[in-house]
Copies of this chain bind each other. A is one copy, B any other.
Amino acid sequence: MIDFPPAIQNLIHSLKELPGIGPRSAERITLYLLEETKGTKQKLVQSINEIGAKIKPCSRCGFYTEETLCSICLDHSRDKQCFCLVIHPIDVIKIERTGAFRGVYHVLGKKISPLDGHVPEDLPLSPLLQRIDEEKPREIILAFGADAEAEATALYIGQILKKRAIRVSVLAMGLPAGSGLEYADSVTLSYALSGRREL
């Protein structure tokens, strides 16, 4: 039984390492790239090389940028006194897509995660605290998500920030939009109950 030549097998193998790409997808993409003549291969190679060469963290907030400061930190129309603290750079995009936040961000980079060996002392807080001392924000929103590790991280950072007399808030928890009661788990439902608001 004959298999593909080594160069083809290598590409299938490399593609399989990507998230969400299984053996069949890897083979399909490889065969597509083998047969295409529109320059997709070259464009792909160039794009991969460019993210490696051009993208770096914003020196102020940690979001992705090609310059020293990201486009959010450079935007004069943003409220620089309201920080949104997130764990990953992608979280910035998620919040931006809501269109509901006009402040600035700070990317923490990691959360408390005992299973990955990240204890509270490992959190890279000194850049944040230094930025707070310099920029004196009015409010900090902890936008960490609702899993146990994110909540532990929010609790730990919340305590530190409150000592500095800053208003600290966390994202609301409750029913996801568009979903009925029958799909809500009991923890979510209890949060929705305790966080109820008067009409």
Could you tell me which A residues sit within 8 Å of B by CB distance? 1-8, 10-11, 13-15, 17-21, 25, 27-34, 40-45, 47-52, 54-55, 64-66, 70-72, 75, 89-90, 92-93, 96-97, 99
Residue of B at shortest CB range from A42? Answer: B52
Closest chain B CB from A24 CB (angstroms): 9
Give 26 CB contacts A-B under 8 Å. Answer: A2-B70, A2-B75, A2-B96, A3-B93, A3-B96, A5-B55, A5-B65, A5-B66, A5-B70, A5-B71, A7-B47, A7-B50, A7-B54, A8-B51, A14-B44, A14-B47, A15-B44, A18-B29, A18-B32, A19-B28, A27-B90, A34-B51, A41-B49, A41-B52, A45-B48, A45-B49
Majority-rule SS of A interface residues: helix
Assembled-state Cα–Cα distance A5/B65 (Å)? 6
Chain B residues lying within 8 Å of A52, measured Cβ to Cβ, are 41-42
Given contacts A18-B29, A71-B5, are A10 and B50 in contact (CB under 8 A)? yes
Given contacts A21-B29, A29-B20, A51-B30, are A8 and B71 in contact (CB under 8 A)? no
Are B3 and A32 neighbours in the complex by a CB distance under 8 Å?
no
Are A40 and B11 neighbours in the complex by a CB distance under 8 Å?
no
Closest chain B CB from A72 CB (angstroms): 5
This chain: copies in complex = 2
Chain B residues lying within 8 Å of A48, measured Cβ to Cβ, are 11, 33, 41, 44-45
Closest chain B CB from A77 CB (angstroms): 11
Chain B residues lying within 8 Å of A1, measured Cβ to Cβ, are 96-97, 99
Are A64 and B25 neighbours in the complex by a CB distance under 8 Å?
no
Are A40 and B14 neighbours in the complex by a CB distance under 8 Å?
yes
Residue of B at shortest CB range from A20? Answer: B25
